[in-house]
Structure 1
């Protein structure tokens, strides 16, 4: 792994675990097993590092969403694959990460907003329209409204004033909101298909 890639990978892992504000350039250098002098050869400051880490992360997730969309058998299968992706990424993020990004790293926050609207919300909107055409999602649903609700719901859970960590388990709240969202979309036909997928997933886990 080249030095710059190692820095980006190390920084991303630290930000995910601890949030952004509490991680110093010394921490990143230590995690990447290099001197801070070497680190500063690639990044002038922490803000630039945060911005490039964010951009790389969003580009990878965009590719994942595109792959999911092309491989999914139907809209319900697609939304379940996306939920698996969320469990791998969002559910393990330190809850302070988005707050730190918004307050201290404006460029990275703008990149996140662009990714949220241009990739995530647009993907969910297409998924809802697909599900409506397949008869799995209710025909009266406004895809733009519900896709916006979904992306803002994911972000809402990061707000510790609304969901204090001493009262709520971050992962459990995300799962509950996702389950509520999916059931709000389904027709009777969709519910049966959803239960088939959930039964199949449960069977695979018990093997």
Structure 2
């Protein structure tokens, strides 16, 4: 790692800590420079604005999240259900830790909010798509499942529901909502145990 890379890494780490502790809106470039015992001139040499620093911090966070999800989804020592639970717990854990920052971004920094939504979609699409395909191959999900359709459904629900304003309206936390949302989607595509009786309200065929 070069000296420049090291400086950028330290700045990003401190910025993330400050944003998580105080929210994005309340933190200034002066605050970050002071925390780092660094001159503002040096700070601006690496990041031209607070928004540029915020965007880089978001990208760094999602790079870590993608690695965590990759490790979970590729861990074949655990079955589909265990990996799904860990997947949901990891995503909602990150969401909960950054709840104040997310509210700030949605309210005060629309460009960064849109960047975050874009990266979130990419992370779910890249990791969850492979997970669904693996679930079909392992027999945990129905063989007629189209992974691309499931991903699109999940992405739509995440975009519409996993938002600070919607969670506040529903009076739910991300930890409560996300597993239920996934359950609604996946319960319909899981394989059913053999010999299970058909539902009582199954439509009958036409009389002859």
Q: TM-score, normalised by structure 2?
A: 0.70
* 1:1-207 aligned within 5 A: 2-73=6-77, 74-94=79-99, 97=102, 100=105, 104=109, 106=111, 109-110=114-115, 112-113=117-118, 115-164=119-168, 167-189=171-193
Contact 2:99-2:164 at 8 Å conserved across structures:
no
Task: Kindly state the Cα deviation for residue 57 of structure 1 after the two structures are TM-superposed.
Answer: 1.7
Compute the displacement of 1:8 (Å). Answer: 0.5
Distance 1:161 1:118 in 2: 22
Determine which structure has more spread, i.e. the larger CA radius of gyration. Answer: 2
The alignment partner of 1:23 has SS state of coil
Tell me whether 14-23 or 125-134 shows the greater mean CA deviation.
Answer: 14-23
CA distance in 2 between counterparts of 1:153 and 1:99 reads: 21
- Please give the alpha-carbon distance, in whole angstroms, between the structure 2 residues aligned to 1:81 and 1:144: 22
How many residue pairs align between the two structures? 188
Q: Which consecutive unaligned segments of at least 5 residues does structure 1 have?
A: 190-207
Superposition deviation, residue 148 in structure 1: 2.2
Q: What stretches of structure 2 of length at least 5 have no aligned partner?
A: 194-208
CA distance in 2, matches of 1:35, 1:75: 50
SS in 1 for 2:171: coil
Instruction: State the match for 2:202 in structure 1.
Output: none
